[in-house]
Amino acid sequence: MKVSSLLVHVLSVSSLKGGVGKTTVTLGLASASFAKGLRTLVVDLDPQADVSTGMDIEVAGHQNIADVLSSPKEKVVRASIVPSGWTRGRPGKIDVLIGSPSAINFDGPHPTIRDVWKLEEALAHVEAEYDLVLIDSAPSLNALTRTAWAASDRVTIVTEPGLFSVAAADRALRAIEEIRRGISPRLQPLGIIVNRVKTQSIEHQFRIKELRDMFGPLVLSPQLPERTSLQQAQGAAKPLHIWPGESAEEMAHHFDQLLERVMRAGHIA
């Protein structure tokens, strides 16, 4: 397999509210990327720092995203990046820029332009070493999410097929356009990932149709069914692609398909 080193594709995985499975989607995409052999960096920008836990990171003794946002110098950035525990006994490169609850101190409602560009500045020191950078962003539209988007080429919005999903997705897409026009012209939406779908639910099918009617091809396929294998792999801090069982295999295939969409958008060969 040939992987282009000419383009670093940075994808933010975002939502405007907690509890929709944003971090689980980030971990699924990271697992697919690792399984495909892409050199991958996962940036844990969510103050809950669940991605760091789910990727089997020992956070003690390392600097973290809060240090990076305070001082995005190369020395600090490199001291905040560690290999995922997923690599133990397995080939491949998947690293984590460690998360921290202290990141909440950088999530004010009115960031300066200097603050918004800090993650972009930090990633510039290391981006040549990765084929794909995934950012698990904070579940809000405050400074951390805007910082993530300013550093990104694409944003994918994670939602559930619920009553408020259309309004939330619309609000997120409008915010992406605001950042694109005001700060970062390269930023584009990759699309909307519909998560935790109950395939037998008439309500869920209605809400998915509602999303498709409103946003058309921005609603990505496949939608992700609700499966316990995702939570089990995450709880064990293992990549989904090695988790046993038909359910895990099904979900791994779905994330492979979503990763293909990411790669097409980024022209990664």
Element (H, E) at 165: helix 165-182
Q: Report the C-alpha gap between 211 and 161 in whole angstroms.
A: 8
Determine the Cα–Cα distance for residues 23 and 38; give it in Å rounded to an integer. 20
Q: Residue 2 domain-assigned?
A: no
What gap in Å lies between CA 45 and CA 31, rounded to an integer? 18
The counts of H helices and E strands in the chain are: 11, 7
DSSP 79-124: HTEEE-GGGTTS-S-EEEE---GGGGGG--SS--HHHHTHHHHHHT
In contact, 153 and 186? CB cutoff 8 Å: yes
Sign of the alpha-carbon torsion through 135, 145, 262, 167:
positive
Give 227's DSSP letter: -
Range of the domain at 31: 9-266
Asked whether residue 96 is assigned to any structural domain, the reply reads yes
Per-residue tens of pLDDT for the chain, all 269 residues = 334 443 448 999 999 877 889 999 999 999 999 999 999 999 999 999 999 999 999 888 899 999 999 999 999 999 999 999 999 999 999 999 999 999 999 999 999 999 999 999 999 999 999 999 999 999 988 999 999 999 999 999 999 998 888 888 999 999 999 999 999 999 999 999 999 999 899 999 999 999 999 999 999 999 999 999 988 999 999 999 999 999 999 999 999 999 999 998 865 54
45 located within any domain: yes
pTM given for the model: 0.94
Instruction: Kindly state whether residue 3 falls inside one of the protein's structural domains.
Output: no
User: CATH code at 52?
Assistant: 3.40.50.300
Give the residue carrying structure tokens 């995203």. 65
Residue 1 counted as domain residue? no
Query: Would 212 be classed as within a structural domain?
Result: yes
Number of domains into which the chain is organized? 1
| In-domain check, residue 4 | no
